[in-house]
Structure 1
Amino acid sequence: MVQERLARRRYGSEVGQWSGWASWSACSRSCGGGVRTQTRLCLEKVAKDNGTDSGDQPPSRAETGRRRLRPIQCVGSDKRFHMCNEEDCPPEAGDFRAEQCASFNEKPYKDRLYRWRPHYSTKRPCSLTCGPENASFYVTLRRRVIDGTRCSPDGGTDRADHVCAAGHCKHIGCDGVVGSPRVRDACGVCGGDNSTCHLVSGIFTEPHLREGYQLVLQIPAGACSIRIEEVVPTRNYLALRAGNKEFIVNGAWNIDNSGQYQGAGATFMYRRQTDTQGETLAATGPITEPVDIFLLYRQMNRGIKYEYVIKRNASLSSVLPRLPNDLQSLPPAPPPALPALPQLPARPSVVPRPTGHRNAVPAPGVARPPHTAPRLPATPAGAGQRRGGVLA
């Protein structure tokens, strides 16, 4: 009502009313996330004048003519959008924007044929801007890309949840509505406020292990906001295995490059170590099955931090990570030659420690890490007490 009164001040009496919504259009894509559109029409209000009934007297022909000269204005949008066909396309499908550029390969441009490739414009992300192969210019071949085209390559880190619709880059709400502001909270609840979230975190500090794949922990299904990282760079590698016992990252003694990897219903970002930063694995989640985190051990472990968020559950065992004492690690195997890394400074001298002590010796200037067990809220009444990473 407030919007309508403001519109009347701006447009006078020529404020119309909306028709009902038409049927949804066909999906703009067969896979990979298309957009369906629904429209409505702005109609002239009947027997209304300045918000009051005009009585039984019909408008004169002159009044009708004056009304028709002025466009009718309605409050609100005449279009709404919804995501559809969001399942992944087969690998051979290729990039959707690149396909749109390639459709102009057989159409002459300034009397010449070109093989076009996509060019992403930050100012106009939803125009079809393409550049020819082996040339340094680019042109806008169409004012709008097809609805459902991502605003930036592979979604992009800043616009992974944005898509083009009616020529504009719009946010995809977690409710599937294009243009919706709704987002998931830390534990994956659409529109949530983190009130149902439970943070689980800890540090794996066992310094000396057998060479090869050694289990760090198992993260339960449903976990979100997952992050695994080395405290200090080493010559070790993180590895990720799905619940079906197939490796997602760094399996079978093969070291993968930094990048995105799909598994357990989520996308994991893996970054290899550098001179200043250790290995990291991260995923937004939620994951659809448990995942195992391994350390491909080559030298002393200096600490591996882990954290994830999961919905609160009455069953404490479904929230806590499963640690190596709960699970069976892979059998040892002789390691093949692994990629050479930059020479690291000599490791500090090791302080003698009692037998069975699990904490790593801290590096100079670095505080001693906490105990291996994660920081958790008070155990619910009736639940078992945690001893050494397992439930009693």
Structure 2
Amino acid sequence: MWRDLDQAMRTSNRSSCASCILLFKIQTMTFRIFIIILVSVAVTSSESLISETRLRERRGLSRPPVTSYWGDWDSWSACSRTCGGGVSKQTRVCLQMSSGDGGELRQSSHCVGLYKQYKLCNTQPCKYDTDFRQEQCENFNGVPFMGNFYQWRQIEKESNYCELNCQAIGSRFFAKLADKVIDGTSCWNSSTTDVCVDGLCKG
């Protein structure tokens, strides 16, 4: 009887040990599979990151940082009129320097602010009271226009305050002789204080 019980216990212990070994093997295989999956994900993620970096480099998205800044203002230009109120202007250039260019400067368009500014000049009245816009039309007298010569006078074209539109005397047609009147020319909007500056009417 005791011999049978001891035999049964030994058989039970061997069975338990076999189960332990089987469980250990299963856990070890599971861990190995997990490690393989983790390494695969890491490699895939790394390859994806490298591919994205190369793609950004090809597209120029990962170039060295660029710094843009305004250069110094130029000197004021000569006044557009000798009397009657002219306009003087000064400009500045937006500059760009990249660490990849060896410190070389070039023009840029990424600065914020004005690149051009104006001021009135020679505001004293002219000695002879003449119409400045009419003078500009008359400057084209005797200049060939479409194979003919004309004498010109100013006309009013409400939609374009700062174009130089003139009419040929003795004819019904008019022509735009200049895209912009000279800075300081009065606008065509019935105001005596507004003047044309760079093709725009300014008050």
For the superposition of Structure 1 and Structure 2, which TM-score range results when normalised by the shorter chain?
A: 0.5 to 0.7
Matched, 1:78 2:115: yes
- 1:28-39 aligned within 5 A: 28-39=80-91
Does the CA contact (< 8 Å) of 1:15 and 1:74 recur in 2? no
Q: Could you say what the CA RMSD is over the residues aligned between the two structures, in angstroms? A: 2.5
Other structure's SS at 2:195 match: strand
CA displacement at 1:122 relative to structure 2: 2.0
2:114 maps to a residue whose letter is: S
| Counterpart for residue 113 of structure 1 | 149
Matched, 1:123 2:123: no
Distance 1:126 1:105 in 2: 20
Scaled by the length of structure 1, the TM-score of the pair is: 0.33
Does the CA contact (< 8 Å) of 2:167 and 2:173 recur in 1? yes
Does the CA contact (< 8 Å) of 2:95 and 2:108 recur in 1? no
Segments of 4+ moved more than 4 angstroms: none
User: Using a 3 Å threshold, how does the CA distance of structure 1 residues 71 and 137 change in structure 2: closer, same or farther?
Assistant: same
| Counterpart for residue 160 of structure 1 | 192
- 1:162-241 aligned within 5 A: 162-171=194-203
User: Using a 3 Å threshold, how does the CA distance of structure 1 residues 18 and 71 change in structure 2: closer, same or farther?
Assistant: closer
User: Using a 3 Å threshold, how does the CA distance of structure 1 residues 105 and 14 change in structure 2: closer, same or farther?
Assistant: farther
- 1:1-392 aligned within 5 A: 16-44=68-96, 46=97, 58-59=99-100, 71-91=108-128, 93-152=129-188, 156=190, 159-171=191-203
**Equivalences, count:** 138
| Counterpart for residue 44 of structure 2 | none
CA displacement at 1:143 relative to structure 2: 0.9
Scaled by the length of structure 2, the TM-score of the pair is: 0.61
Does the CA contact (< 8 Å) of 1:15 and 1:72 recur in 2? no
Other structure's SS at 1:144 match: coil
Distance 1:164 1:131 in 2: 20
Other structure's SS at 2:100 match: coil
Residue by residue, what CA displacement relative to the aligned partner does 1:100-153 show, whole Å, maximum 9, x if unpaired? 10011110111111110112222221111111112221111111111110112x
| Counterpart for residue 353 of structure 1 | none
The worse-fitting range, judged by mean Cα deviation, of 23-32 and 71-80 is 71-80
Distance 2:152 2:164 in 1: 11
Q: Which runs of 5+ in 1 are unaligned?
A: 1-12, 48-57, 172-392
2:186 maps to a residue whose letter is: R
Does the CA contact (< 8 Å) of 2:94 and 2:108 recur in 1? no
Distance 2:66 2:156 in 1: 41
Q: Which runs of 5+ in 2 are unaligned?
A: 1-64
Identity of aligned residues (%): 40
Distance 1:164 1:85 in 2: 15
CA displacement at 1:161 relative to structure 2: 2.0
Distance 1:60 1:22 in 2: 26
Does the CA contact (< 8 Å) of 1:98 and 1:117 recur in 2? yes
Residue by residue, what CA displacement relative to the aligned partner does 1:47-103 show, whole Å, maximum 9, x if unpaired? 5xxxxxxxxxx4169xx9xx97x9532212211111111111123x41101011001
Distance 1:161 1:43 in 2: 36
Flag the structure with larger Rg: 2
Distance 2:149 2:155 in 1: 18
Other structure's SS at 2:137 match: helix
Higher helix fraction (1 or 2): 2
Other structure's SS at 2:72 match: coil
